[in-house]
């Protein structure tokens, strides 16, 4: 046991001197939390009475799908709580509107392994068959062309366009924590190498619509419980 010296002073006070290595001095921790989109709302709902709302603010970045709460604007160690809206892994898996190209066989495999994401599962298996046989069908179309003077590239383009699979519907959640939505999707195929990608104008519209709806829903709730916090759109 390390020795200590105790001095008793008049009254009720006493001073204790301890020998040995002092505890390391540590700076306060800066709290930076990241979570789902409504994380700032959840934090405020439990602790709004503990903060000065006029010394706090919220930054909204719709392009980055984020809401960030900054507590104590003049405090270096003031906590920040950031919530983000993330695309659902099932939606991401299909690479819709990302210009991610796969071979026709890899696209067929993607459909086969994720047929539960299709509105009608039999559609998935029909697409699998079409994609697996796509190259052979295109080649037969080119060989059947009777105009030998035709441009080979044009013939190939025509063959690809005439054999494109029909559009189909996926039934998937767009964002984490949101219900499934029906999304119309098309297969686009490059004529030169027959690689495939998925495109959907409807998915673009849904992402923008749902993004604004989900963000505005959180902001409206924050305004109800913390009306004096400044909300700034970036």
The terminus-to-terminus CA distance of the chain in angstroms comes to 59
Q: What is the pLDDT of residue 132?
A: 86
Domain count, the chain: 2
Nearest to 137 by CA among 161, 110, 171: 161
The fraction of the chain above a pLDDT of 90, given in percent, is 59
**Residue 22 within a domain:** no
CATH of residue 52's domain is 3.30.720
* Residue 203 · residue 97 · CB < 8 Å: yes
Q: What is the pLDDT of residue 162?
A: 62
Rounded to whole angstroms, how far apart are CA atoms 54 and 76? 16
Q: Cα 183 from chain centroid?
A: 17
Rounded to whole angstroms, how far apart are CA atoms 97 and 233? 26
Assess whether 119 and 155 both reside in one domain.
yes
Strand order in the sheet with 80-84: 32-36, 80-84, 66-71, 56-61, 230-233
Q: What is the pLDDT of residue 134?
A: 77
Assess whether 120 and 78 both reside in one domain.
no
Question: What pLDDT band is residue 18 in, cutting at 50, 70 and 90?
Answer: low
Assess whether 152 and 118 both reside in one domain.
yes
What average pLDDT does range 54-71 have in this prediction? Answer: 96
Assess whether 104 and 149 both reside in one domain.
yes
**Residue 1 within a domain:** no
**Highest-scoring range by mean pLDDT, 12-21, 45-54, 135-144:** 45-54
Rounded to whole angstroms, how far apart are CA atoms 83 and 62? 12
Q: Look at the pTM and tell me if it is higher than 0.95.
A: no
Assess whether 107 and 141 both reside in one domain.
yes
- Strand, helix or coil for residue 232: strand
Assess whether 186 and 116 both reside in one domain.
yes
Assess whether 159 and 132 both reside in one domain.
yes
Assess whether 116 and 69 both reside in one domain.
no
- Residue 131, pLDDT > 70, answer yes
- Strand, helix or coil for residue 1: coil
- Residue 31, pLDDT > 90, answer no
Assess whether 104 and 147 both reside in one domain.
yes
Assess whether 141 and 64 both reside in one domain.
no
Residue ranges making up the domain that contains 39 = 32-86+212-233
Burial of 102 (0-12, 13-18, 19+ CB in 10 A): middle
């Amino acid at each position: 046991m390390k020795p200590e010296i105790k001095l008793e002073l008049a009254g009720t006070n006493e001073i204790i001197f301890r020998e040995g290595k002092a505890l390391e001095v540590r700076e306060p921790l800066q709290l930076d939390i990241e979570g789902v989109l409504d994380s700032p709302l959840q934090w405020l709902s439990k602790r709004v009475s503990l903060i000065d709302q006029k010394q706090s603010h919220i930054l909204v970045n719709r392009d980055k799908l984020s809401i960030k709460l900054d507590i104590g604007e003049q405090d270096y160690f003031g906590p920040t709580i950031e919530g983000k809206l993330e695309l659902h892994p099932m939606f991401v898996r299909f690479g819709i509107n990302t210009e991610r190209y796969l071979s026709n066989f890899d696209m067929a495999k993607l459909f086969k392994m994720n047929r539960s994401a299709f509105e009608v599962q039999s559609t998935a298996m029909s697409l699998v068959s079409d994609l697996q046989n796509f190259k052979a069908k295109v080649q037969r179309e080119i060989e059947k062309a009777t105009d030998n003077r035709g441009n080979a590239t044009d013939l190939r383009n025509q063959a690809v366009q005439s054999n494109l699979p029909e559009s189909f519907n996926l039934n998937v959640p767009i964002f984490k924590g949101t219900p499934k939505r029906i999304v119309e999707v098309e297969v686009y195929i490059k004529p030169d190498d027959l690689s495939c990608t998925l495109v959907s104008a409807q998915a673009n519209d849904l992402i923008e619509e749902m993004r604004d709806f989900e963000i505005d829903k959180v902001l409206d709730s924050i305004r109800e419980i913390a009306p004096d916090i400044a909300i700034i759109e970036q």
